[in-house]
Structure 1
Amino acid sequence: MSELKKGLSGPGAGAPMTIATRIRTICETSLKALKYHKGWLRFLAAGSALSVFATPALAQEAVGATRLLGSSEVITFSVLLGVVSAALFSAVWMIRQRGRLEDEIGALRATVSDAKHRNARLQALISDKNRRIIVWDGLSQRPEILGQLPPETGAPAADADFLALGRWLKPASAAEAERAIETLRSQAQSFDLIVETTRNEIIEVQGRVSGGQAFVRFVALNNLRREAAELQLERDRLEQSLTVFQHLLDSLDLPVWQRSREGTLVWANAAYGEAVEARDAQEAVREGRELLSAVAREKIKATNTPFRDRVSTVVQGKRSFFEVVDARCAAGSAGIGLDISEAEAIREELQRTLKSHAETLDHLATPVAIFDGSQRLQFYNQAFQSLWNLDTAFLERRPDHGEMLDRLRAASKLPEQLNWRQWKDKVLSVYRAIDTQTELWHLPNGQTLRVFATARPQGGATWVFENLTEKVDLETRYNTLVQVQDDTIDHLSEGVAVFGPDGRIRLSNPAFRALWGVTEAQAQPGTHIRAIEQACAPSYDGADGWKRFGRIITSFDDERPSYRGLLELHTGLVLDFAVIPLSNAQTMLTFVNITDSVRVERALTEKNDALRKADALKNDFVQHVSYELRSPLTNIIGFADLLKTPSMGALNERQAEYVDHIATSSAILLTIVNDILDLATVDAGIMELELSDIELSDLLEDVAMEFSDRLQENHVSLDIVASEKLGGIVADHQRLKQILIKLLANAANFAAEGTAIELKCWRDGEDFVFSVSDNGPGIPQDVLRTVFNRFESHGRRGGAGLGLSIVESFVSLHHGTVTIDSREGEGTCVTCRIPPGSLPSVVAAE
């Protein structure tokens, strides 16, 4: 048995094995086990026999020896006797085991024989040419293919080609089989399918899982099974078709129903349920709600042929008409209803309209005749009878159109033709035409008729005869006047176009066509303004162009005012247009080319805008930079002052000198930044003065004390000439102080060393007037005009050139004036006049 188990789970068990190989292995292992057990039984049998034959002699010798030997020999003999007894018992046990093993060997031989028999049957089954099996081992992805299918099925003999199901099965069958096989291998889900080959052969496909292996069997069906499979496929196709048709009928907005042979409603679509006011079609069928009346149903039931008729019924409380088609068959009947209520209403309305038109045409002065599809006279009015002077009896018998033409020709009432038959065929060709035909007839009696022949949609034609005799005469004279007018307009340099109230152009001159780039054919008389708009679209397509012209020209307003404006074309031309209403509801458009003047104006405007943007950009830049510089400069000044304090440690002489230079330069730079920021604030218009009562004597004292360091630095002195009774003034203390310091600093910059600067202050009425004078080199006359400009630096020490600009800005904010008087070699004197301001009302009240 161990050998049998070893044969089933030996080294070959890990590799994929076929069914035949497994059966062969089982048989060989069983035979080895039988041989092994047979040898072991022979060995046991021999040992048992030896024990049996040796037992009597040994017993006799033992008895005799007992008598002769002593106690030691007795012990030895006893041991020997025990061994012999044990051998005897072993022999008996071996005999019993031998019988049991022989029984097991017999059972194994029967099992092997059975396995061989099953193996033979499996081999016969696999070798059947009506089936083919694909086996996937759980440990291997490569399948094993057994058996063959008949060649007439179209299945390939090669394994690789057979696995490509899409090559020999129909696409739908191949896709379904591949999905089933994938589900079998991944989810162990069995399946049974019926598939079709490309040769229209039916094959049964079965999928099963057993022992960790997946089996797929392809079986070629015999006649009965094939017929059953074909019927099953046909049933599936019919069920699918029935489902599709039911879904299609459910999606229709036409009621569709099906009845049994007894006339009971068995199925209806959604539109039927809605028509009978049911929640759904199932409720309509369940409750037997009928769409048609009992009379209509009886009429349908009594008709053996397919019923087709108009039926009146009530749908959702409204009388409706349906075109009902109902067909009968052995299983019952099916019907469909087409709602023609609107069509019936339109038909009745058409009949009333035709009657009304006939009554209207009969009262017209224009001759009108209507012929039906067979070219026979159907309607004529009194004007038609009077025009051709035809008998009433002749007209009432509805003559043929050709017959009527022959009668008129015989009465010499039609124009003479060289080829009468050809002309007659051309006139009657309107019955086969689509568009309206227009023709002029010059009658022998001198009349001129314009004939309109229009084919009718329901067949036949309508003939209208317009008498143009007087009109032709008037047109002749009118055309002469128009020709003179056209010659005049054609030679104008302005573009001119005249439109009628219908929006169609009446005339245009070459200047108009040249400005808009349209051809003479595109702007020919009679062209609608929409066509003109499309022709002019490449030049201009704005909403305020031809679209507005079209609205004005075709407007029905009683008042038609003129309209003017400018248009700039894509070509670069600038046109001055005018829309002028004329008599007879006509409108004239004029266009004047003003491109050159507009270009000059635009150039000046663009230059001005550029200057404004540049100035604004400069102000923004200055303001931004000033704000960004003020913070680091304040830090530098603070740290420089901190380095000077004893608590930070002693500085050597050079370090102290450097720190002084840093502090001085930073203070100067901070002053410049503050000045720039003040100017930027003034330019932005956001600077506001903080007005207060100022005591002028105290102001002068503060200025003198704050400016003393600068005087020592420049080696000049300051002389202040002012009355003790200067009094006070309402002004901005900080800005007024800045004005004085800026003027004194500018004078110190120009004054020679060892000289004095004079600050003179006095009152002129309520105004506060002061001047700052120096005896410096003076300012040349050509430079004097630019001293108030920003960043204009003069003097030996130079500077940012902002002092006088700030002075002028702050004086202007106080509504004052500043003047400068300077001569070369005689010095400079700057005079400022500050009028008093007024405190806010809240402050005054306080």
Structure 2
Amino acid sequence: MPDITPRRGRLSQLVRRLAAGSALGLLSGEAMAAEGVASVFHSSEIITFSLLTGAIAAAMISAVWVIRQRSTVEIDNRDLKTALADARQSISRFQALISDKNRSIVVWDGPAEKPEFLGQLPAETGAPQDDRDFLAFGRWIRSTSASELERAIDRLRTYAESFDLIVQTNRNEILEAQGRVSGGRAFVRFVALNNLREELAELTLERDRLRGDLASLQTLLNAVDMPVWQRGRDGQITWVNEAYRDAVEAPSADVVVQEGRELLATVSREKAKALSTYDSPFRDKISTVVRGQRTFFDVVDAKTTYGTAGIALDVSAIEAVREELSRTLKSHAETLDHLATAVATFDGAQRLQFYNQAFQTLWNLDTAFLARRPGNGEIFDQLRESGRLPEQLSWKQWKEQALSVYQAIETQTDMWHLPNGQTLRVFATARPQGGATWVFENLTERVDLETRYNTLVQVQGETIDHLSEGVAVFGPDGRIKLSNPAFRALWGVSETEVAPGTHIRAIEQACVVSYDQPDGWKQFAHAITSFEDERPSSRGMLELRTGLILDFAIIPLPNAQTMLTFVDMTDSVRVERALTEKNEALRMADSLKNDFVQHVSYELRSPLTNIIGFADLLKTPAFGELSTRQAEYVDHISTSSSLLLTIVNDILDLATVDAGIVELDLSEINLTDFLDEVSHQMADRLQESAVTLRIDTPDMLGTFVADHQRLKQIFIKLLTNAANFAPEGSVVGLSCAREGSDFVFTVSDQGPGIPKDVLESVFHRFESHGQRGGAGLGLSIVDSFITLHHGKVRIVTREGEGTEVVCRIPSGALPKAEAAE
């Protein structure tokens, strides 16, 4: 309110001055009258007096106006103070309302402005207490609700579209989200619902879910080819699917509902209505006419509190097949009844369903007994009591095995030798529709003939057919009597070429491909066909073109027959030759290897060391700045050279191990300091592979006697191999322990594991597996160095779960210092 105090002061001074002037004028007039001056005033004095009088009058009027204005200003000030107090009270009331913990408001002044947060939701809703995390809806609101809310807020801020949503948090709390635009500002209010409002929101969500489920179910029912319908309490159709519409030949489902087109006859509907209950739906096979053809349906009609619902499955094709099957079974039964082979059929309950006359005759069973459809096991028991089944050591086990045909997939075949001397071949086959079919074929006469024939054949066949030596028997006329498979395999001839009755000249021609020496088979032919009284046996050795080396023997038999035998000596001779050649090759290889170890160290390492040194010099600023591409090339040179140097060192280490010139430099190692040294050296390598090293050791590992450098190489190779196969972000484990004087350590990773077919070759040299495999020398070096320490290494792996390499090294003994002489 403007301050009017200075104005009042100035007006008071003006009034006092006007009053003083008026008083002086009155005194002057009285003085002039007293003296009796009766002169007329001058015109200038009259003008001055008039002006003074007007000024006084104006001052008086201004004073009155100021006084009235002051009263008006004071009234306005009182009104403004009252309005200000009311506004402050309203703001306090609104702030108290907004700061309610059951609601939170987010306000945006414009599209590019940061949001303003008012109020806060309860902590049990899962809403973040920090305003910066509140708008990350996906973290505390369910994904479906969060995506819908984000789209609604985007439309609110972009197109001023208001919304009202019910969202659900990850803690199953219900929130109401209201979006509005007012005064150019967009705001969204979140309200935590409780009691009735929460129940209403939950019911709303449940209603939407049920509507969605109902729409999905109706879509599914429209896709199936089975008529489906719903009826109201009055029995009128309220909904049908597309299959029902097609069956009644209606243009649309709405027409079916409006016209009340029925698929089933009135009698069938009344029957379903009468028999259907809430607990037991109506089920029956009903025939009706669809598109002018008689059609059979399996109908299920269920009663509900809102009416009924039904579904019909077209079984016309099944009925036709059933009738055809019935006719076929009847025809087959008539055919089987005229067969001499006994046949019996049992159903799924293992009860007799069909048997032919031969079955009754074979087992001599009573017709009345068979007429009451006995079980399969009951028939077996009856036959066992009458002594018609083969004797068994364990009847229960035999019976269970015979009846297992009902669960078998393939046909079971068995031979039954009955006590009466009969031999039966039994076929038992499980039927697709359940049950089994038994066929009994009488083989008594056939078995007798085969027995006598097999006895004669086995005298010759079993004698020579299982020999590893090749055997051939010739008659005095030079024709072959028999030969075994080994003979044919050694000479590379077929069974037809050496069939019984073939002359030795023909066999000689067949064997020319394998052996072209003229004296060989001529010698055999002379020994076989000669008429000398004395036929001495002879032995010798042949080498065939196929590489086989045979030791042969010519043995005279009675009745002027001759037997040739051939023993394969190829392996023995070749082993002897190979050992001789290998021994000579090993001597040469050992000499070459020693020369290689002595000379290759300087010849290979020195150039690589120079390359690495010059590459490092090129990186230093003293030799000039390199461009980005040049620096990249220099890094590649340095990295590749270091890798090549590592491979050369590995090859040299293996070569020295193989040459037997490696001597371990045993020393006492503090294992705790040693593990710190290894982890520090592996830090950069593990960081490149984005894996973490976890070391699990007891507090005090103590000291250990081993070759420090070789032991460090073992650890570096194992950890590098684990880092190569471990996935990014995983952990490589190193656990160490002391078991007596042995040092046991395990390196594990979470990689893909090692397949079983690869596990046997992981310690082989130059065997590299996986995308990041190197030269394949790491595990070979580990195995060689652990073997030098008299230790053992094994691998435990599971495909998809990682690999563990377990090493055990016994503590060595420090060399004893010789006393000084």
Residue 287 (structure 2) pairs with residue 315 (structure 1)? no
Structure 1 residues 491, 181: CA separation in 2 closer, same or farther (over 3 Å shift)? Answer: same
Which residue number corresponds to residue 377 of structure 1? 352
Larger Rg: 1
Which residue number corresponds to residue 359 of structure 1? 334
Which residue number corresponds to residue 91 of structure 2? 119
Cα distance in 2 for residues equivalent to 1:304 and 1:108: 81
For residues 169-192 of structure 1, the C-alpha deviation after alignment (integer angstroms, 9 at most, x for no partner) is: 333333333333333233332222
Structure 1 residues 94, 410: CA separation in 2 closer, same or farther (over 3 Å shift)? Answer: closer
2:105 aligns with one of 111, 133, 144: 133
Kept in 1: contact 2:286–2:299 (CA 8 A): yes
Residue 272 (structure 2) pairs with residue 297 (structure 1)? no
Kept in 2: contact 1:55–1:84 (CA 8 A): no
1:386 aligns with one of 361, 371, 381: 361
For residues 779-807 of structure 1, the C-alpha deviation after alignment (integer angstroms, 9 at most, x for no partner) is: xxxxxxxxxxxxxxxxxxxxxxxxxxxxx
Cα distance in 2 for residues equivalent to 1:320 and 1:55: 131
Kept in 1: contact 2:108–2:186 (CA 8 A): yes
Kept in 2: contact 1:51–1:87 (CA 8 A): no
- Aligned AA for 1:175? S
Cα distance in 1 for residues equivalent to 2:17 and 2:484: 156
Shift of 1:110: 3.0
For residues 242-263 of structure 1, the C-alpha deviation after alignment (integer angstroms, 9 at most, x for no partner) is: 2222222222222111111110
For residues 247-288 of structure 1, the C-alpha deviation after alignment (integer angstroms, 9 at most, x for no partner) is: 222222221111111101111112211111112212211221
Residue 243 (structure 2) pairs with residue 271 (structure 1)? yes
2:196 aligns with one of 224, 243, 251: 224
Shift of 1:296: 1.1
Query: What SS does the aligned partner of 2:235 have?
Result: coil
- Aligned AA for 1:348? E
- Aligned AA for 2:230? Q
Q: How does 1:153-552 map to 2 (within 5 A)?
A: 153-305=125-277, 306-409=281-384, 412-472=387-447, 493=492
Cα distance in 1 for residues equivalent to 2:71 and 2:243: 89
Which residue number corresponds to residue 42 of structure 1? 8
User: What's the Cα RMSD here?
Assistant: 3.8
Query: What SS does the aligned partner of 1:135 have?
Result: strand
For residues 678-720 of structure 1, the C-alpha deviation after alignment (integer angstroms, 9 at most, x for no partner) is: xxxxxxxxxxxxxxxxxxxxxxxxxxxxxxxxxxxxxxxxxxx
Shift of 1:376: 3.4
Cα distance in 1 for residues equivalent to 2:100 and 2:245: 58
Query: What SS does the aligned partner of 1:337 have?
Result: strand
Q: How does 1:25-40 map to 2 (within 5 A)?
A: 34=1, 36-39=2-5
Kept in 1: contact 2:414–2:425 (CA 8 A): yes
Cα distance in 1 for residues equivalent to 2:494 and 2:26: 163
- Aligned AA for 1:256? V
Q: Which moved more, 1:359-368 or 1:228-237?
A: 228-237
Structure 1 residues 144, 40: CA separation in 2 closer, same or farther (over 3 Å shift)? Answer: farther
Structure 1 residues 49, 110: CA separation in 2 closer, same or farther (over 3 Å shift)? Answer: farther
Structure 1 residues 264, 382: CA separation in 2 closer, same or farther (over 3 Å shift)? Answer: same
Query: What SS does the aligned partner of 2:158 have?
Result: helix
Structure 1 residues 337, 374: CA separation in 2 closer, same or farther (over 3 Å shift)? Answer: closer
Cα distance in 1 for residues equivalent to 2:447 and 2:296: 54
Structure 1 residues 370, 86: CA separation in 2 closer, same or farther (over 3 Å shift)? Answer: same
Shift of 1:419: 4.1
Unaligned runs of 5+ in 1: 1-33, 498-510, 512-846
- Aligned AA for 2:423? T
Structure 1 residues 62, 465: CA separation in 2 closer, same or farther (over 3 Å shift)? Answer: farther
Cα distance in 1 for residues equivalent to 2:182 and 2:393: 102
TM-score normalised to structure 1 length = 0.49
- Aligned AA for 1:465? F
Which residue number corresponds to residue 726 of structure 1? none
The number of equivalent residue pairs is 465
Structure 1 residues 421, 233: CA separation in 2 closer, same or farther (over 3 Å shift)? Answer: closer
Shift of 1:452: 0.2
Cα distance in 2 for residues equivalent to 1:50 and 1:180: 75
Structure 1 residues 153, 62: CA separation in 2 closer, same or farther (over 3 Å shift)? Answer: farther
- Aligned AA for 1:111? A
Cα distance in 1 for residues equivalent to 2:268 and 2:20: 121
Percent identity over paired residues: 60
Kept in 2: contact 1:449–1:467 (CA 8 A): yes
Cα distance in 1 for residues equivalent to 2:291 and 2:111: 70
Cα distance in 2 for residues equivalent to 1:419 and 1:480: 35
Kept in 2: contact 1:52–1:88 (CA 8 A): no
Structure 1 residues 52, 260: CA separation in 2 closer, same or farther (over 3 Å shift)? Answer: farther
Which residue number corresponds to residue 623 of structure 2? none
Q: Which moved more, 1:341-350 or 1:57-66?
A: 57-66
Cα distance in 2 for residues equivalent to 1:435 and 1:165: 61
Which residue number corresponds to residue 146 of structure 1? 118
Query: What SS does the aligned partner of 1:434 have?
Result: coil
Structure 1 residues 391, 324: CA separation in 2 closer, same or farther (over 3 Å shift)? Answer: closer
